[in-house]
Structure 1
């Protein structure tokens, strides 16, 4: 029972344009207790992500319509999905290929052909890491005074997006680049949110977003 605890109710999104590999990996992961949803390319995967947020993404790199690199960029830029661990599967095993994959935003890079047991081990390791990160907000609340924010505070959709980036640790300049607006505009949004919430700085704003499960 202890061995399967990490797998309980975990949903994995598997993306590959090779139907044989999809069948093989899906069967193996389901046999090990995971729920697996599939897509044939990055474009189809984005459609899946509009409706369903998996616990992890396992993705081929070279695919038609949208490759793994482009997909991961979309995943990392969306506040709904940027926390999801991504494992790249690729036939390209050169050092520069691995570096590019990890720099693009993948958490793990595995080269085909691979041992199914190693894939499961990497999946479990990534899911455990996410679980550890998710424990941080409750611990973080002990490191500072309790935040007192009026319960009726309402953020605009743009403010919500900005505060999610703040919670991820991005500077105003980086947020401006992501949202394609001026840094002054981002500073104005942050200032407005501090006024609405009565908080004192960006650190408290980030804590509030995390503790309120906005991030």
Structure 2
């Protein structure tokens, strides 16, 4: 692996106990990156299964379902785009959060990755601590959604909005990022707009939906699988 693929950083204590262990599927054709990222994630308390390409990963998913997938984009046999598309087509796997790792960092690359079905798009080189933070954020988001469902989130306790609510394409992008736990500043950077513009979109959506705050907006987006 090229030294620039992952930034060096000091290791910290594992962040979870054994009974909280989450299982990750790590997919990359670079054996050195696999080794480093796997070691780092396992040190932080995750159980990690690895695959060299999308086709091998699909075979693994037939036998086991991870809590999250961390996937390279450019790989032989089956690239990350094709892999994620297939993951999203199956009911048994379409809920799994996916984090793309890629050396391609143009905005068009990020947009394509997110449109293909990734929840997070990270560019190499990256800080291991940022990777862990993104993984933890995605897992927490999934847990919140499962919590809503267990409390009757699919019926009477669902967020109620007017039946004729329609969002503009930009508003949809904003609410998807809100549902991922991103702050307005982070959303502004992701969409290459001003923070004031993001705040305006959030305000417009609150008006359209009759919701009270960003938390309710995020819950509405999660319950309706906008993210």
SS of 1:65 mapped into structure 2: coil
Q: Quick check: 1:29 aligned with 2:41?
A: yes
8 Å Cα contact 1:7-1:124 kept in structure 2: no
SS of 2:151 mapped into structure 1: helix
Match for residue 15 of structure 1? 27
What is the number of residues matched between the two proteins?
146
1:122 pairs with one of 116, 126, 134? 134
Q: Residues of 2 paired with 1:72 and 1:7: CA distance?
A: 29
| Structure 1 residues 144 and 54: alpha-carbon distance in aligned structure 2, compared to 1, 3 A threshold | same
8 Å Cα contact 2:85-2:116 kept in structure 1: yes
Task: Point out where structure 1 has 5 or more consecutive residues left out of the alignment.
Answer: 146-215
- Please give the root-mean-square deviation of Cα atoms over the aligned residues, in Å: 2.4
Q: Residues of 2 paired with 1:134 and 1:6: CA distance?
A: 21
Q: How does 1:174-193 map to 2 (within 5 A)?
A: none
Q: Residues of 1 paired with 2:49 and 2:153: CA distance?
A: 35
1:56 pairs with one of 49, 60, 68? 68
8 Å Cα contact 1:90-1:112 kept in structure 2: yes
| Structure 1 residues 136 and 105: alpha-carbon distance in aligned structure 2, compared to 1, 3 A threshold | same
Shift of 1:8: 1.9
Q: How does 1:1-215 map to 2 (within 5 A)?
A: 3-4=15-16, 8-140=20-152, 144=156
Shift of 1:4: 1.9
Shift of 1:139: 2.7
Deviations 1:59-115 (A, max 9, x none): 000000100000000100000100000000000000000000000000000000100
8 Å Cα contact 1:7-1:34 kept in structure 2: no
Task: Point out where structure 2 has 5 or more consecutive residues left out of the alignment.
Answer: 1-12, 158-227
